[in-house]
Structure 1
């Protein structure tokens, strides 16, 4: 009886140690109290990239003066069957591969690499010569296509829109329902495309508070975040597939054996 109890005790200890080890891998920012976050200081500003969609409005004291700079989409169908002007829907500007947009009256404007505020100042300087000297236009720029994708071991994989043009990796993951218990916190993959179309892969350890100091802590438009499954999920998946294949094999062999028995009897 004692010999039987010894392996049971060892198995129980092993299970407890494994549970403790797994628990340590779940918490974010485990060393937050011992890590300096001084290098994370600074306000993040997203920068415009090729293929971004921009919404740009120009406002002046006289609406008629700014109207040529605020093109609307003509998509209203009149009673005569013709398309009319819908002033409630502004035309969006697609940044081309060279980083340019074609702005009304002004012409080609290079905007790639600029922050929203820098782009507003640039458009304002381009528009000013076409206005009266006393006129001070108000220019507003927003990125209409700012979004990231979160996939893998999260509760609800999805494309996440970023309306504020500022979002951390953790906020994006939270929008997808956070990591499941099977998601690897220490090896989150971030795939990013730069302004030249070059893809880059970066690994983030969410267990380590130093991730806050990372240059990849804030997401960039079109980032792809993938959470890998941990070993437990991988093993369970392998067991499930093997079991399915085994039952399929047994079922086929049983059917063949039954068919042979019937043939022999007949």
Structure 2
């Protein structure tokens, strides 16, 4: 009898350990990263400028007096010496950004820039627009430095994450991993293999699913985020079950376990 009980206990222990190991693996990201090519992720990173975007444009040169007309008479030693216009994919939430002249893209995709007049941003990425502006500036300034960034790059993160909300990406570039990091990562109840991304671009709404456990994620068009993206993390079935349970269920089970143990001890004493 004792042998049977021990055997049942060992089987239960092995199944329990295997279940825990599988659960642990389910929480791991990018599990097959060594087998995935990453070349195509670069082409997805350059989103085009959209109507309503707020562009911060700062022109600098060796002689700052020469570029004053192009900066709307805006000048500050803090702005000139700062480097927050540098690239990179690490978002900074809550960090003060460097100020500068801001231009809002109108309904026709244009901005009204000093001296140069109306400039079209339609179907252009920030990099392409920056290069075009630099070329036009060379007619007026020797070796100008042109910095262009998006001031209102925001994404929304909802669902099974630790900190839901709207997040502003300071440098205007972010991957879905960066954004979820800002939200404190997924909770243990978040579905890591079924994350929905909703995107509005050029007036068209599209959506797609990504799997954080699959390294092919980096080749998805939804890996690099775009302005206004919404990320929705669904809950697992376990979350659904726990949400429907009585909050005192755990206490009841604990009490029942203690009661059963106490009865077993009493019966054992009487048998002696």
TM-score past 0.5 threshold? yes
The aligned runs of 1:16-35 (5 Å cut-off) are: 18-33=19-34, 35=35
Whether contact under 8 Å (1:72, 1:90) holds in the other structure is no
Distance in 2 (alpha carbons) for counterparts of 1:187 and 1:205: 6
Whether contact under 8 Å (1:46, 1:165) holds in the other structure is no
Unaligned runs of at least 5 residues, structure 2:
75-97, 250-272
Residues 228 and 65 from structure 1, CA distance in 2 versus in 1: closer, same or farther, beyond 3 angstroms? same
What is the TM-score with the length of structure 1 in the denominator? 0.70
Match of 2:179 in 1: 172
Number of aligned pairs?
A: 222
Unaligned runs of at least 5 residues, structure 1:
74-87, 244-266
Whether contact under 8 Å (2:149, 2:171) holds in the other structure is no
Match of 1:124 in 2: 134
Whether contact under 8 Å (1:95, 1:112) holds in the other structure is no
Deviation at 1:239, TM superposition (A): 2.1
The aligned runs of 1:76-115 (5 Å cut-off) are: 90-115=100-125
Match of 2:72 in 1: 71
Q: What RMSD, in angstroms, separates the aligned Cα atoms of the two structures?
A: 3.2
Residues 125 and 184 from structure 1, CA distance in 2 versus in 1: closer, same or farther, beyond 3 angstroms? same
Residues 89 and 235 from structure 1, CA distance in 2 versus in 1: closer, same or farther, beyond 3 angstroms? closer
Deviation at 1:229, TM superposition (A): 0.9
1:108-149 deviation digits (Å, cap 9, x = unpaired): 1111332333212222344444x37xx343322111112222
Relative contact order, higher structure (CA 8 A, sep 6+):
2
Residues 61 and 11 from structure 1, CA distance in 2 versus in 1: closer, same or farther, beyond 3 angstroms? closer
The aligned runs of 1:1-266 (5 Å cut-off) are: 18-33=19-34, 35-40=35-40, 42=42, 44-71=45-72, 90-129=100-139, 131=140, 135-194=142-201, 196-240=202-246
Whether contact under 8 Å (2:49, 2:124) holds in the other structure is yes
Match of 2:83 in 1: none
